[in-house]
Structure 1
Amino acid sequence: MFLASAKKLRSFGIIGMNQRNFGLISRYNPRHLYPLVDDKLKTKLLAQEAGITVPKLLGTVQYQHDVKLLQEILHSYDQFVIKPVKGSGGKGILVITRHDYNFYFKPSGDAIQLIDIKRHVSNILSGLHSLGGKPDTVMIESLIQLDPVFSDYSYEGIPDIRIIVFRGYPIMAMLRLTTHASDGKANLHQGAVGVGIDMGTGNALYAVQYGESVSHHPDTRKALSDLVIPHWDKLLQLAAACYEMTGLGYLGADLVLDRDQGPMIIELNARPGLSIQVANYAGLAPRVAIIEAIKTIEPDPQLRAAFSKKQFSVDSNIHPPRLLRTRREDPRA
């Protein structure tokens, strides 16, 4: 589908990089607001002020001479996540699921020691994983607990839900499932599975890995057609509320389902990628056009979410048919 000619891509309603950059990002995202989402710590504090659930902040490290304080910060926690505040694409994220004496265990079961964590934190501070390679700050968060609904659909990590929000209206969504190839990270470029989601129901529509359609999770062999995301209304409402929180007209909201706390925001992006169109086997352009035609933006995020559920469900004529059961099947299933 997406290797077709430019004319055919336009007929699918596919938005390309230039259209995204100039028609959406430059037009709807004032540049002075970028730091609100480029800085994950600022995003977390904004969300907390807005009453939006986020992973608990366990600590921060801002300077190289503070690296020696890591043992004191971490000693009380068996599980945690270390992130660069200004990182992107999942780079520099270190997940620890277990701490046993001098060893810290990653989701893969690989063991590292405190000296390795200090080295990783020092690299983050030096800007190794940050946007533009500039010096960064380290953020240490509580580890999200996998919701049992995803236990058969994720491998060595926590899946997340990317929702594109345009002028406050959620217009497209995908679930990113961690895999062995992605090293337990929900990053499509590293091998995670992208699953297009029906905006009306939270049901899986279509799935891809490395741009190729798949019908089963590559590691667990679970059929993706059976997947339904719970708390779908709440997830859409949280994503819609990010419009008021940031002032950005075009953004990507990344959410997760925590086993104990339910839906929460983990990150916002002022320049969300376009691979969500591949995962949905559908283009963003028709949905953008519908929202651009709205004269007055509904001030209530819940009502905007309800509008999107109805407008962009699979029953709408701008959608392709449900494809997971009819695309290439798993030969080992």
Structure 2
Amino acid sequence: MSLFSTWKELRAKGIMGINQRNADYVLRYNQRHLYPLVDDKIKTKERAVHAGIHVPPMYGIIDSDKQISSLSEIVKDHGDFVIKPAQGAGGDGIIVIADQFEGYYRTTSGRLLSHDDIEFHLSGILSGIYSLGGHRDRALIEYRVTPDPIFSAISYEGVPDIRIIVLKGYPLLAMLRLPTRQSGGKANLHQGAIGVGVDLATGITLDGTWLNKFINRHPDTTNPVRGVQLPFWDGFMSLATRCYELTGLGYLGVDMVLDKDRGPLMLELNARPGLNIQIANDAGLAARCRKVEDEIDRLATKGINKPSPAKRQAFCQREFASQCLPDQLGADSAPASENKGISSI
């Protein structure tokens, strides 16, 4: 089979390529002046807090070399915390501190860092070595997320996260990203994490993809990744849907986590979300985008230009329900957890 015929088949299935994503969706729906709202994690967090969306609490901001020495004061009441570059991408530059011991900071991997080590890292963040475009940056000190126990059977260390791609406030596809030993405990697919499709209607996980291969078990825990009922699913869907109003960006990736104490939290937003989510769901973004755009046009002819977030969510959960759900949650799957709706968001 030729490459040309293969591409024609992918197009027929509604698979979106990177050029189509950039030209037809990112450039078309995302106004350039709005990018700082998502490219800077501090601005995203401040805007979300103002809108009543739960995020990991912020302990402090370091935006100059003179302020680096204030770290001890910022974290004096917090045994564990996270250091992030405000404009970082792909998890680069993030340090997760699990506890403090005899003047040292212990990372989640067990490595001990001195205060000088941390100050050196903060200096690097400020210089922009992790930022988009290499611009001078700020360091964010925030709450350390502890994953909900439901993920213990299907994740290796780190914090699993959930990504939902949204078009004009309509959720299109969802994916659970699970850390592995190979990814170093990070939920980054390019570093070896697993991407698992999630049914929009129910929040039940589908099959996974790992290193460009389809899998149904986690390589480290050996437990099935399929058939897990994600708790708070309606809440996650509602949060992702409302991020359109939060930013004004029409094409958006919403990254969220489930903390064992605080429930669903929004981590960050992405104006250029990747396309691997299509592999994890065995479904094309382009096809779903077309269906949403048709619905927007249909409503516009009736004079409805701003359907409510609840109606947008209901449309997508009805139209994009998976046709390949497990018959039932397998006895050897990770345990299901009660779906408590949106009460904790």
TM above 0.5, yes or no, is: yes
- Any idea what the Cα deviations from partners look like across 1:43-65, whole Å, max 9, x if unmatched? 00110111100000001110122
Name 1:219's counterpart in structure 2.
220
Name 2:20's counterpart in structure 1.
19
CA contact (8 A) 1:277 1:283 kept: yes
SS at match of 1:293: helix
Name 2:243's counterpart in structure 1.
242
How far off is 1:303 after superposition? 2.1
Separation in 1 of the partners of 2:176 and 2:288?
Answer: 19
CA contact (8 A) 2:206 2:227 kept: no
Q: How does 1:180-195 map to 2 (within 5 A)?
A: 180-195=181-196
Same amino acid, percent of matched pairs: 50
CA contact (8 A) 2:204 2:325 kept: no
- Any idea what the Cα deviations from partners look like across 1:60-105, whole Å, max 9, x if unmatched? 1101222122222223211111111011111111111122222222
Separation in 1 of the partners of 2:97 and 2:215?
Answer: 30
Name the CA shift for 1:309/1:241 in 2 (closer, same or farther; >3 Å).
same
Output the amino acid matched with 1:151: S
Name 1:60's counterpart in structure 2.
61
SS at match of 1:224: coil
How far off is 1:191 after superposition? 0.8
TM-score by length of 2: 0.88
RMSD (Å), alpha carbons: 1.7
Name 2:87's counterpart in structure 1.
86
Q: How does 1:128-167 map to 2 (within 5 A)?
A: 128-167=129-168
How far off is 1:19 after superposition? 0.4
Separation in 2 of the partners of 1:146 and 1:100?
Answer: 23
Number of residue equivalences: 318
Q: Which moved more, 1:209-218 or 1:107-116?
A: 107-116
SS at match of 1:252: strand
Separation in 2 of the partners of 1:298 and 1:240?
Answer: 13
**Equivalent of residue 313 in structure 2, options 305, 308, 328:** 305
Unaligned runs of at least 5 residues, structure 2: 300-304, 329-345
How far off is 1:123 after superposition? 0.9
Separation in 2 of the partners of 1:29 and 1:285?
Answer: 17
Separation in 2 of the partners of 1:8 and 1:90?
Answer: 34
CA contact (8 A) 1:206 1:323 kept: no
Name the CA shift for 1:278/1:138 in 2 (closer, same or farther; >3 Å).
same
Output the amino acid matched with 2:307: P
SS at match of 2:249: coil
Separation in 1 of the partners of 2:198 and 2:327?
Answer: 11
Separation in 2 of the partners of 1:259 and 1:235?
Answer: 15
Name 2:340's counterpart in structure 1.
none
Output the amino acid matched with 2:34: L
**Equivalent of residue 314 in structure 1, options 294, 309, 322:** 322
Output the amino acid matched with 1:300: S
* 4+ residue runs over 4 A deviation: 322-325
- Any idea what the Cα deviations from partners look like across 1:227-255, whole Å, max 9, x if unmatched? 22111111000000000010011000001
1:116 lines up with 2:117 in the alignment? yes
Separation in 1 of the partners of 2:155 and 2:81?
Answer: 19
Unaligned runs of at least 5 residues, structure 1: 316-320, 326-333
